[in-house]
Structure 1
Amino acid sequence: MQKTKKINYIRKYRKILSLSIIVLLVIFTTAVPGVRGNTNEPEDTEGSAKVIGVSLASEQASYQQALGNLLEAEAEHDPNYQMTVQYAGWSISEQEKQLKTFIKEGVDAIILCPVNAKSFLNIIKDARKAGIPVINLNMKVDTVSTEYITTYVGGSMSEEADMAGQMAVECLGEKGKIGIIEGLQGSDPQIYRTQTFLKYVDSYPDIEIVGIMEGNWSRQKAALAVLDLIKKDKDIDLIYCHDSNMAMGAYEMLKKKGLEKQIHVIGIGSEQIYIDAVRDGKLYGIVTQSPEFEASFAWSCAKRAAEGFTLRFWYKTPASIMTKENVDQKS
């Protein structure tokens, strides 16, 4: 009799325990966010997307604008990430404000193309303290600041300038007069695309630099700079521009003055419009630099950094010389 009671008790206990487990499972699967019961409906991930803040130097520069458009296109296809792209309009204070806002909002990663190489050390340090990885894109921060970035995605400005020097010397047959139109003063490309170019052509005693003008990455300002170079020396043979957008501005002014056959123009940057200009003989040549490569790798690096992956210190943009002779092979 006692044995029968014991068995009944055990059965009753097991029944109660089973019901309790079922109730707990129902509560757990309906009350805990992200845990679902037996359903084929997709999980609602609204509000769970990681956020990447992007601060680019200026949309007035065609290359920067291309980078912004390409980054936005990358983000459109990734539901797990949101992106905010902002332009600083070449203003250091505006870019500081953008970066401080990103840090305050606690974004998961920052992509930074700096207005000036030396201006953002303290803010980059603040991002590091906040645990926010910084992807330095296209225009490199200064040597001290590189300690606090996660990676750099971009070309070697010295390598590009060296290639531009090779192209200029080849075009002139090691003898002639060159004018230079620079990008924004203080930026990484402005510094090294001049310094390395001058170092390269200095080895050729019959090549003369007649003047260095500011173009600030603007096609219109580059066109005006051409007039200043012509005033300095009407016998100038070649104009080297720090980017291909300014090179097109230079060509347009030379054409207006009837000098497009007399004075050659070279630039840096390989968007399709510039490749076509080389093919059509408007530009003597360009050093290739792909915004598609840089945008794609910056986006990939930002996502991986946000997820805690370790990155290489530099994802280098490939560069090569493109002239009319090889444009159809490289484009």
Structure 2
Amino acid sequence: MRKTGRKTVFAALAAAVFLMHGGLPLCVQGDAGEQDKVTIGISMASELASYQKGLAGKMQEIAEQSDSYEVEFYYADWDADKQEEQLREMIDKQVDSIILCPVDAKSFLNVLREAKDAGIPVVNLNMKLDPFSCEYITTYVGGSMSEEAVLAAELAVDYFGEEEGKIGIIEGFPGSDPQIYRTQTFLEEMNSQPNIEIVGIVDGKWSRSRAELAALDLLRKEPEIDMIYCHDCNMAMGAYDTLEKEGKEDEVKIIGIGDAAEYKDAVKEGKIYGIVSQSADYEAAYALICAEKAARGQELRPWYKNPCEALTAENIDKYRSPME
């Protein structure tokens, strides 16, 4: 008998939560071993970006416990042409379904059309494709980048109140859905706040080390900056490292996006003022469940939305991941 450990419990919980949120049960005849095993090709934008790395690791962990599917990982290194080639390789190999976490929102229309023509369903994961490309996917598993930006803006507005404030932004990889909408929507929200000024926008490419340099650039441009809004918490930690080196960690507040333990601890310790949650556990579990269901011909909703909420030191202890 297989020993029941944390990984097995996690996979079982993922399936249970899927059903609770309106998923359809797999049509299984007898044991999982009696099913034909399906192959899921997984194309990640990067192997090194913190969230992407964690997301891939969680999917690998879940997949190792499955008897009904196997996974094959591909990493594009933020190269859209390379990712397109990898997708065509999956199509040529006739995988049963594809999970795509795209380098950018607009580069994959043709290859997605090819996948659909080949009868291979595609689950768009984490970073959403543009509306034209979405015509050729089966479902999207991920959050609303605009909603996350609204919550980040609310954190900033709540912090400043009626006081004047200067905010710098450190963005993710250019052209990706989160880079576009986590800035665009945040700026739209700030348009109604005459007391808050956006003093700079710098590219951090989801890298902690790049975010350190980006934060330094913002400090040089505007020494009186009051807050840095980062597109993810990995970059937020990089920004904090720079503030600490410059002796400004108590003067400049930081907002990030993500809910890994390191970032929640940073909120509790006062290193980060606030975060907007984004659960990699949720996205990993739902992506695999959706990919298997799609491979077996079952219908899915257009969007399995990763819930998010704004967290500060005041409410961080009450937060529970959607997979808990």
Q: TM-score, normalised by structure 1?
A: 0.85
Q: CA deviation at 1:231?
A: 1.1
In the other structure, the counterpart of 1:95 is: 83
Distance 2:124 2:247 in 1: 42
Equivalent runs, 1:219-298 vs 2, <5 Å: 219-298=208-287
Q: Specify which of 299, 306, 317 is matched with residue 310 of structure 1.
A: 299
In the other structure, the counterpart of 1:4 is: none
Equivalent runs, 1:1-331 vs 2, <5 Å: 48-174=36-162, 175-331=164-320
In the other structure, the counterpart of 2:12 is: none
Distance 1:159 1:286 in 2: 13
CA displacement, residues 100-127 of structure 1 (integer Å, 9 cap, x when unaligned): 1100000000000000100000000000
Superposition misfits of 4+ residues, deviation over 2 angstroms: 42-46
Identity %, equivalent residues: 56
CA displacement, residues 186-211 of structure 1 (integer Å, 9 cap, x when unaligned): 00000000000001011010110100
Alpha-carbon contact 2:127-2:142 (below 8 Å) kept: yes
Q: CA deviation at 1:60?
A: 1.7
Q: CA deviation at 1:80?
A: 1.9
Gaps of 5+ in 1: 1-41
Distance 1:186 1:208 in 2: 24
Alignment-mate amino acid for residue 99 of structure 1:
L
Q: CA deviation at 1:273?
A: 0.8
Query: How has the CA–CA distance of structure 1 residues 268 and 44 changed in structure 2, closer, same or farther, with 3 Å as cutoff?
Result: closer
Q: CA deviation at 1:45?
A: 7.2
Alpha-carbon contact 2:45-2:75 (below 8 Å) kept: yes
Secondary structure of the residue aligned to 2:74 is strand
Alignment-mate amino acid for residue 306 of structure 2:
T
Distance 2:140 2:34 in 1: 31
Distance 1:44 1:153 in 2: 27
Distance 2:305 2:290 in 1: 12
Alignment-mate amino acid for residue 231 of structure 1:
R
In the other structure, the counterpart of 1:15 is: none
Q: CA deviation at 1:244?
A: 0.6
Q: CA deviation at 1:70?
A: 0.7
Q: Larger RCO: Structure 1 or Structure 2 (Cα < 8 Å, ≥ 6 residues apart)? A: 2
Structure 1 vs Structure 2 CA RMSD: 1.5
In the other structure, the counterpart of 1:20 is: none
Q: CA deviation at 1:49?
A: 2.0
Query: How has the CA–CA distance of structure 1 residues 53 and 173 changed in structure 2, closer, same or farther, with 3 Å as cutoff?
Result: same
Tell me whether 73-82 or 137-146 shows the greater mean CA deviation. 73-82
CA displacement, residues 135-184 of structure 1 (integer Å, 9 cap, x when unaligned): 00000001100111000000000000000000011112242000000001
Secondary structure of the residue aligned to 2:154 is helix
| Structure (1 or 2) with the larger CA radius of gyration | 1
Distance 1:139 1:101 in 2: 21
Distance 1:130 1:264 in 2: 50
Secondary structure of the residue aligned to 2:169 is strand
Secondary structure of the residue aligned to 2:73 is strand
Alignment-mate amino acid for residue 98 of structure 2:
I
Alignment-mate amino acid for residue 159 of structure 2:
C
CA displacement, residues 255-289 of structure 1 (integer Å, 9 cap, x when unaligned): 01110000000100111111111111110010000
Q: CA deviation at 1:43?
A: 11
In the other structure, the counterpart of 1:22 is: none
Secondary structure of the residue aligned to 1:265 is strand
Distance 2:150 2:47 in 1: 27
Alpha-carbon contact 2:123-2:290 (below 8 Å) kept: yes
Distance 1:173 1:258 in 2: 25
Alpha-carbon contact 2:170-2:204 (below 8 Å) kept: yes
Alpha-carbon contact 2:32-2:67 (below 8 Å) kept: no
Secondary structure of the residue aligned to 2:113 is helix
